[in-house]
Amino acid sequence: ETVTAAHSFLFFYFFIFCRDQILEMFDHAYNSYMDYAYPADELMPLSCRGRVRGLEPNRGDIDDSLGKFSLTLIDTLDTLVLLNKLDEFEEAVKKTVQDVRFDNDIVVSVFETNIRVLGGLLGAHVMADVLKQRGERMQWYRDELLHMAKELGYRLLPAFNTTSGLPYPRVNLLYGVVNPLSRTGTESDTCTACAGTMILEFAALSRLSGDPIFEEHARKAMDVLWEKRQRGSDLVGTVINIHNGDWVRRDSGVGAGIDSYYEYLMKAYILLGDKVYLDRFNTHYSAIMKYISQPPLLLNVHMHNPTVNVRSWMDSLLAFFPGLQVLRGDLKPAIETHEMLYQVTKQHNFLPEAFTTEFRVHWGQHPLRPEFAESTYFLYKATGDPYYLKVGQSIVEKLNTHARVPCGFAAVQDVRTGMHEDRMDSFFLAEMFKYLYLLFSEKTQLPIDIDDYIFTTEAHLLPVSLSTTQPSCHTNNTEPQAHKDDLFSYSCPSAQTLFPNNPTFAKTIRDSNKYLTGLGRTQQSSPVRWVTCYSFIIEQHLKLVAEVSQTPEHEEVVALIVQLISPPFLGRTALMAGPAKFGKDLTKQEHGVKGSIVKSVPYTACGPIENAVELQGHIALALRGDCMFAAKARRLQEAGATGVIFIDHREGSSSAETPLFQMVGDGEPTDDITVPLVFLFSKEGATLTAALQEHHNVDVLLLPKEKQIGKESPVEKAQTFCVHPTWPSVPGLDPSTGKQAAQISQHYNIQF
């Protein structure tokens, strides 16, 4: 009994210590935003200032989250309540009401604005109303946040003005979509998650405000996605045409581009009480478990041929899926996948944005995403297994050790180097601290009964009582499906049924996945044969149909260069570049590819190319982001470009700090792309664009680094003196550049 009492005391102390540590971390992040960034949308934690769109270098589609509406403050409001910071909440609501306006001439992401801002306003309104009804505070509140949410909802509605009912991906908050001043409305595609992650916020807005128009539009978008599923597999693709409903990208998974569509089908049933959503979720879920789930992995397949994997890597956004499986009650695969993800974090400190089936880094960034913490919280609540508290503690320790900076927490530019990025997204405060705090809190310690609420995909809190405020829409229908129902197809999961006071069952499942990454074994242990065999099977599938021609994992990326050869550079400036797995193979071109560079309009090349005449016969510059590399390449090739140089939209990235990677395709055959493609990080890209701005005509060579002009052998260096005396006089030419210029002239018949 004494031992048991001591154990209970230590456990209680551990709980308090971790919870206090999380509160201190939240205070550091939130106060840094309020002190250094507010009223800007986001904090730049390395610069200790706010990120204001238009005043900082463009980061591409990442900046579509920013609307000059104090994004981080709104996204954090209901977190303040959950963490019992009620004085700070009341003050933050007053600031929001007094300072935030939505009549801004700015183009924003419909998806991001919905989940972060509209969801944040609704969650905060619900919290404010609860506190007011208790009579202790917020007595001045008169539904101001709800009125703001309704205004924002009306400003998002023009995006739904399409023939299909699927929304445009972007909208101008002041001018809408079709207005000539809107600077948007030319897009033809959107991601499945972008169109299918509106129903919770829009339905809640309708039921709280009494205006049904929001829920009707969100339902329509969900109906279209359901109707457009592949009937043979019951899977959906990643990108869809908003006008005719045709699939643009047919790869299907549970990660980026699709993730929250599945989440919102399940949660729409919980929030709204409409069985149609549950029927649809169960149909999709059966297909996911049949084709995509290959425990512990979740691999993308082709929606029309789902027995074939289309890529050998996974993205970090799928880390939410174990949490969704907990809601459904399917805990065995949830435990397996979560354990695999935990092993990846132990190897790399954080989940990289993408990692291979052999758990190597594919994309190294980590923008402090909360999905792994989310699934950890749900698994602990379902199993009661203290193991998940240890996982949560490791998340806290790694954030403090590897992401904390004097002005907040900074994203990690590459988990392999630990380099920081000047970025702290609003979801870090909105989600990460909610889930970590809840993980180490008892229900009685919270200011609300958490079981009365459902989390949106941004972790905003909406009351499940909304299901009784309005009858279900009778126009919804779902044809009967042939899939076999299980214990939890039409009932909420019971932890007692799943784990009758037996958390060792979860441990048994985890142990079979404990050494997937090779960590934790002794030196004498043999390699993980299961992973090797599994990777071999995946490789055989990939040979049948793949989004790109895959490079073996052990093969190094071939370094390319963009060499500036026109005066005054004459080959002296060479920028390190990454290759693509499709397009012309520069390693097979004896002298590389030469051309003059021209910026694409639009710069992202994700819409119709407006300067095709100017691009004809030239190498195009295009900014990364908004759409896939392959889509950009096709548009620019059709416009007449002879090559494409893609420039990273991530501010401050460079080849000196980030390993090169190979650009991949879009899940479709890429044989039609025949022009050479290279990738520059932003620092190298800035050098190139500055040269173009200053000199207007800039000729470049695209070639492998090993074939760089002017990179001489010792014999060539000894012969250089023979070239210099006969080299024509060029103003500003340093004699040391004579050899490079001579080679350029000889190979490419250029007259200077």
99-104 CB contacts, 8 Å cutoff, 24+ apart: 99/39, 99/70, 100/39, 100/69, 100/70, 100/73, 100/74, 100/148, 101/69, 102/67, 102/69, 102/148, 102/151, 102/152, 102/155, 102/173, 103/173, 103/174, 104/67, 104/68, 104/69, 104/173, 104/174
Query: Would the pLDDT of 394 be above 90?
Result: yes
Residues at the binding site for Ca(2+) are 457
- Given this model, what pLDDT does residue 727 score? 36
Task: Name beta bridge partners: 356.
Answer: 313
pLDDT of residue 659: 81
Single out the catalytic residue among 336, 353, 421, 458: 353
The arithmetic mean of pLDDT across residues 174-201, rounded, is 96
In a domain, 376, yes or no: no
Q: Is residue 577 part of a domain?
A: yes
| Phi (first) and psi of residue 152, to 5 degrees | -65, -40
**Cis peptide leading into residue 169 (ω within 30°):** no
- Report long-range pairs for 44-52 (Cβ below 8 Å, ≥24 apart): 44/422, 44/423, 44/424, 45/405, 45/407, 45/408, 45/409, 45/410, 45/420, 45/422, 45/423, 45/424, 46/405, 46/407, 46/410, 46/420, 46/421, 46/422, 47/407, 47/422, 48/406, 48/407, 51/423
259 is catalytic: yes
pLDDT digits (tens, 9 = 90+) for 556-607: 688 999 999 999 988 889 999 999 989 999 988 888 999 999 999 999 998 8
pLDDT of residue 712: 44
Set 259, 422, 547, 684: catalytic member:
259
Lowest-pLDDT range, 127-131, 527-531, 726-730?
527-531
CATH number of the domain bearing residue 605: 3.50.30.30
pLDDT at 113 over 90: yes
Does residue 448 form part of some domain? no
Catalytic annotation, pick one of 41, 75, 90, 112:
112
What was the pLDDT predicted at 724?
35
Residue 630 reports pLDDT greater than 60: yes
Q: Is the model's pLDDT at 253 over the cut of 80? A: yes
Domain count of the chain? 1
Q: Picking from 575-579, 655-659, 708-712, which range would have the lowest pLDDT averaged per residue?
A: 708-712
**In this predicted structure, what is the pLDDT of residue 626?**
75
Residue 614 belongs to some domain of the structure = yes
User: On the CB side of 743, how many CA atoms lie within 13 Å of its CA?
Assistant: 21
Question: Is the pLDDT reported for residue 541 higher than 80?
Answer: no
Q: Has residue 666 been placed in a domain?
A: yes
pLDDT for 503 equals 56
Mean per-residue pLDDT for 134-151? 97
- Of 41, 90, 330, 371, which is the active-site residue? 371
- Give the mean pLDDT of 85-112: 98
Give residues with Cβ within 8 angstroms of 157, minimum separation 6: 213, 214, 217
What per-residue confidence (pLDDT) applies to 666? 66
Domain annotation covers residue 1? no
Instruction: Give the mean pLDDT of 691-720.
Output: 72
Q: What is the pLDDT of residue 310?
A: 92
Does 371 qualify as catalytic in the annotation?
yes
Is the pTM of the predicted complex or chain greater than 0.75? no
Q: Is residue 360 in some structural domain?
A: no
| Phi, psi (rounded to 5 degrees) for 208 | -85, -30
Binding residues: 457
Q: Is residue 241 part of a domain?
A: no
CB of 665 closer than 8 Å to CB of 628: yes
Residue 591, pLDDT score: 84
**663 pLDDT band (50/70/90 cuts)?**
confident
Per-residue confidence (pLDDT) for residue 549, from 0 to 100: 34
Token code pair at residue 306:
């789902």
pLDDT band at residue 553, thresholds of 50, 70 and 90?
A: very low
**Beta bridge partner(s), residue 252:** 301
For 319, the token pair is 């880390």
Residue % of the chain over a pLDDT of 90: 72
pLDDT at 716 over 70: no
User: What domain range is 640 assigned to?
Assistant: 560-706
Question: How many angstroms separate the CA atoms of 358 and 361, rounded?
Answer: 9
pLDDT value of residue 10: 64
